[in-house]
Chain A
Amino acid sequence: MAAPTAPRNGDNVLLSATGLVKSLGGKRVVEGIDMTCRAGEVLGLLGPNGAGKTTTLRMCYGFLRPDAGQIRIAGHDLATEGDAARRALGVCTQDDTFDSEFTVRGNLVQTGRYYRPRQEDLLARIDVLIERFGLGPFANQKPETLSGGFKRRLMIARAVVHNPRVAFLDEPTTGLDPQARVAVWELINGLRAEGLAVVLTTHYMDEAERLSDRLLVLQAGKVRAAGQSREVLGDVVGEHVVLLSAQADGTAQVIEWLRSRGARPAQILADWHVALDAPGLAAFVAAHPDLRYEVRPPTLDDLFLALASEDRR
C-alpha cells in the first residue's frame, strides 16, 4: 500500500477516519481504511465495484456504524458526539432522495429544519443556494419535474443547506450529459473554494482527475494507493502504457512475450493496453524494434483496468 501523500493546504483536517472496519452479511467489506480530508480539498475515492467505497462513505456520514475504527468530523467523534458531527457534514447520495411531497424550495426548507436553524437564517441561506445553484426558475416545482442535471444540483444544494464543513458526494454526476456534468463540476469547485472538505466518489476517471486534489484508491476493502493522481498511477499502473493493435500481425506473440515478463496486458476493443515501468519499456523497445505501437502516460482508466486485473488474479 502506498503511503498517503500529505495534502497541500496545512493541517486543517475536517475529516479523519482511522482503522475503519466493517462487515456486512458476514462478509468483511472494509478492512482497516484510513483517510483524511482537509478544508478546501477534494478527496477522490476510487475503486472498482465492490471495493468498499460506498460502505466507507456511509460509515463516514453516520449511515453505518463501523465495527472498529474512529471517524472525526470537524473535530467531533461521530460515535460519541454524533449530533455535532452530523451537524458538520452534508451528504449527496447516489440516488435522489428528495421529499416528493415538497417543491424544490420546500425540499431545502424541510431538510434545513432537520438541523433546527433559526428560521430567518434558513430562508436567507435557501435564497442564496437557489440563486447559486441556478434553481430559481424551478423553485416552486416538484423535484420530479426537473432534468437529471437540476435534480443533482438540488441534491447538492440540499446537502449544504446547513453550511456543513464536510460534504460527501457519492457519484454526483452519474447518468448526466456532459454539459450537466460540467455544471456540477463547477458547483463542486465552488464548495472547495468555500473551504469545505469534499469527499467524492465517481466512476468517471476524467472527473476524478479534474476535481480531486488527492485520490484514495480502494480495492477489496483496503487502501490500494493514495496521493495525487500521478503518484497513484505510478504506484498501481506504472509509468507508461503501450497500446498495440490487436489485429496487427504478430501481436499474439508480443503479448505472450509481455506476459512471460510479468506484464498484464488487457484487451479493450481493438487494442491491447500494457502498463510498463521505464526499464520494462526500454526492454520492450529493444526486443521489438520493428513493431508499430503507441506509448502514452497512464490514465485513471488504466488504473481501473489494472485493479480489475489484480482482482481477477
Chain B
Amino acid sequence: MNPYLPAFAWQSHAVLGRHLRVHLRNWYTATLPPVCEPLIMLLAFGVGLGRQIGTLTWNGAPMDYMHYLAPGILAYTAFMSSFFQSLFGAYIRMHFQKSWEGQLTTQLRLEHVVWGEALWAATLATAYAAIVCLVLAGFGLADQLALHWAWLPVVMPLIFLAALSFSAIGLYFTAIIPSIDHMSLPFFLVIMPIGFASSTYFPLPDVPWLTATAQLNPLHHLAEGLRGLLLNGQATWHLAASGGLCLLLLAALIPVDMRLLRKRVFGDG
C-alpha cells in the first residue's frame, strides 16, 4: 500500500479532528506557551542580549540582533512544536492513554492514526507559528521590529510542510524509544544538533564542515529563507532548499515510521 495516500483519507482527518477538539477545549492554557515563549525570547535575547551584541553581519550587511532573531524564532517554533507534539504527545497517546488502540479497533488503520498524528503536529506547529507572527507584529507596532509583513501569511504553507517533515522525525523516535525515561535521548541527539546547526538564533561560524553540514539541515534553510523574505523581501534559494529537503525527509521517513510503529503497536513485523 502507498504509505503517503492515507494523508488525504477522511480517517486521518478524523484523527486530526479529535486532537483539535481536545486542544480547543483547553485553548486558554494551550495558547500560553506559543505566546509567552517568543515574547520571552524576543525580550530576553532580542532586546536584552541584543543590546550587548549591538549589530551583527548577515549576508554582508549589518543588522541588529532583534531583526536577525525574529525569523529564526518563527522557524524554530515550527521545528520544536512539531517535534515535541509528535514525540511526547503521540507517545503518551499511544502508550499511556491507549487512544491509538481505541482508534485502531474502529474503521481507522495504523496509517490513518500515524498520518493523523503527523498532520496534527504540523497543524499545531503552524498555528503556533501564526501566534508568533502576531507577537512579532506586536513588536512591529512598538517600533521594535520592521519586517516585510505581507510575506508572513505567504510563508505559512512552507512552515506547515517543514513541520510535517519534522513530525516524521518525532514519530520515528516515538516508534523506537524503549520507554518514556528515554525521552531525553531524541532531544540530545536530534533537537540540539539540528537547532544549533541551523542559524536560527545565531549566524553559523565560518567553519567549513559546519557550513557543509548545515546545507543538509532543512531548519537552517527555513530560517535563512524566512530571513531573506521577511528582512529583504527576497525569495532566496533557501526556501526551495528547505521545501525540497522537507519533502525528501517525509518521503524517506514516513514508510520507516509506519513499519516501526506497526511493529511496536501490533508486535508484528
Query: Does A61 make an interface contact (CB < 8 A)?
Result: yes
A residues in contact with B109, CB < 8 Å: 62, 82, 86
Interface residue? B55 (CB, 8 A): no
A99 and B266 within 8 A (CB): no
Stretch of B11-19, B67-75, B127-135 that contacts chain A? B11-19
**Do A63 and B98 touch (CB < 8 A)?**
no
**A24/B267 contact (C-beta < 8 A), A97-B98, A111-B102 known:** yes
A25's closest neighbor in chain B, by CB? Answer: B267
**A82 → B minimal CB distance (Å):** 7
Nearest-Cβ distance from residue A171 to partner chain B, whole angstroms? 14
Cβ contacts A70-112/B at 8 Å (1 or 0 each) = 0000000000001100110011010111111110000000110
Nearest residue, chain A, Cβ from B17: A113
Q: Are A61 and B105 in contact (CB under 8 A)?
A: yes
Q: Assess the B14–A91 pair: CB atoms within 8 A.
A: no
B106 at the interface (CB under 8 A from A): yes
Q: In the bound complex, do residue A97 and residue B14 qualify as a contact, i.e. CB atoms below 8 Å apart?
A: no
Does B202 lie at the interface of the complex (its beta carbon under 8 Å from any beta carbon of A)? no
Is A115 at the interface (CB under 8 A from chain B)?
yes
- CB-defined contacts of A102 to chain B, threshold 8 Å: 22
A24 CA / B269 CA spacing, docked (Å):
8
Sample of 28 A–B contacts (CB below 8 Å): A24-B268, A25-B267, A61-B105, A62-B109, A63-B266, A82-B109, A87-B107, A93-B101, A95-B98, A96-B98, A97-B99, A97-B101, A97-B102, A97-B105, A98-B98, A98-B102, A99-B99, A99-B102, A101-B25, A110-B21, A111-B102, A111-B106, A113-B14, A113-B18, A114-B106, A114-B107, A116-B10, A159-B105
Is B144's beta carbon under 8 Å from chain A?
no
- B191 contacts A by Cβ under 8 Å: no
Contact A63 B105 (CB under 8 A): yes
Q: Please tell me if the beta carbons of A83 and B107 are within 8 angstroms of each other in the complex.
A: yes
Is there a chain B Cβ closer than 8 Å to A248's Cβ? no
Besides A86-B106, A87-B107, A114-B106, 15 more A-B contacts (Cβ < 8 Å) are A24-B267, A25-B267, A62-B109, A63-B104, A64-B266, A82-B109, A86-B109, A91-B105, A97-B98, A99-B99, A99-B102, A101-B97, A101-B99, A113-B18, A158-B102
Chain B residues contacting A114 (CB-CB under 8 Å) are: 11, 14, 103, 106-108
B contact patch SS: helix
Q: Which residues of A contact B267 (CB under 8 A)?
A: 24-25
Q: Determine chain A's interface SS by DSSP, over half rule.
A: loop
A64 to B265, CA, bound (A): 10
CA distance A40 to B97 in the complex (A): 34
> In the complex, what's the smallest C-beta–C-beta distance from B99 to chain A, in angstroms?
5
Nearest-neighbor residue (CB-CB) of A107 within chain B: B102
B124 to chain A, nearest CB (A): 15
User: Can you list, as one digit per residue, whether each of A125-161 has a CB less than 8 Å from chain B (1) or not (0)?
Assistant: 0000000000000000000000000000000001100
The verdict on A99 contacting B106 (CB below 8 Å), with A63-B266, A65-B268 known, is no
How many angstroms from the CA of A113 to the CA of B13 in the assembled complex? 11
User: Among B18, B107, B108, which residue has its beta carbon within 8 angstroms of that of A99?
Assistant: B18
Bound form: Cα–Cα A282–B102 in Å: 54
A159 to B101, alpha carbons, bound, how many Å? Answer: 13
Q: Is the CB of B107 within 8 A of A115?
A: yes
Q: Of residues 99 to 124 in B, which have CB atoms within 8 Å of A's CB atoms?
A: 99, 101-109
Instruction: Name, among B21, B22, B102, B108, the residue most crowded by chain A CB atoms within 10 Å (CB to CB).
Output: B102
A116 CB contact (under 8 Å) in B14, B18, B104, B105: B14
Residue in A closest to B98 when the chains form the complex, CB atoms: A97
Closest chain-A Cβ to B47's Cβ sits at a distance in Å of 38
Shortest B108–chain A CB gap in Å is 5
Indicate which residue in B101, B102, B268 contacts A64 across the interface (CB closer than 8 Å): B268
Measured between beta carbons, the chain B residues less than 8 angstroms from A99 are: 18, 97, 99, 102
Bound together, the chains give a CA A264 to CA B106 distance in angstroms of 45
Distance A101 CA – B22 CA, assembled complex (angstroms)? 7
Smallest CB-CB separation from A111: which chain B residue? B106
A65→B104 CA distance, assembly (Å):
13
A18 to B246, CA, bound (A): 45
Which residues of chain A come closer than 8 Å to B107, judged between CB atoms? 83, 86-87, 114-116, 162
**Distance from A88 Cβ to chain B, minimum over Cβ atoms (Å):** 10
A 56-67 binary contact with B (CB < 8 Å = 1; else 0): 001001111100
- A91 and B108 CA atoms in complex are apart in Å by 13
Which residues on B sit within 8 Å (CB–CB) of A24?
Answer: 267-268
A97 to B100, CA, bound (A): 8
Task: Kindly list chain A residues whose C-beta atoms are within 8 Å of the C-beta of B21.
Answer: 110
Q: Taking the nearest CB of chain A, how far is it from the CB of B20, in angstroms?
A: 12
Kindly state the separation between the CA atoms of A114 and B18 in the bound complex, as whole angstroms.
Answer: 9
Per the bound structure, the CA–CA distance linking A102 and B266 in Å amounts to 25
* A272–B139 alpha-carbon span in the complex (Å): 85
CB distance from B244 to the nearest CB of A (A): 34
Report B-chain residues with C-beta under 8 Å of the C-beta of A65.
268
How far is B98's CA from A159's CA once the two chains are assembled, in angstroms? 16
* Bound-complex Cα distance A130 to B267 (A): 35
User: With A and B bound together, what is the CA distance between A39 and B107 in angstroms?
Assistant: 21
Interface contact A100-B18, CB-CB below 8 Å: no
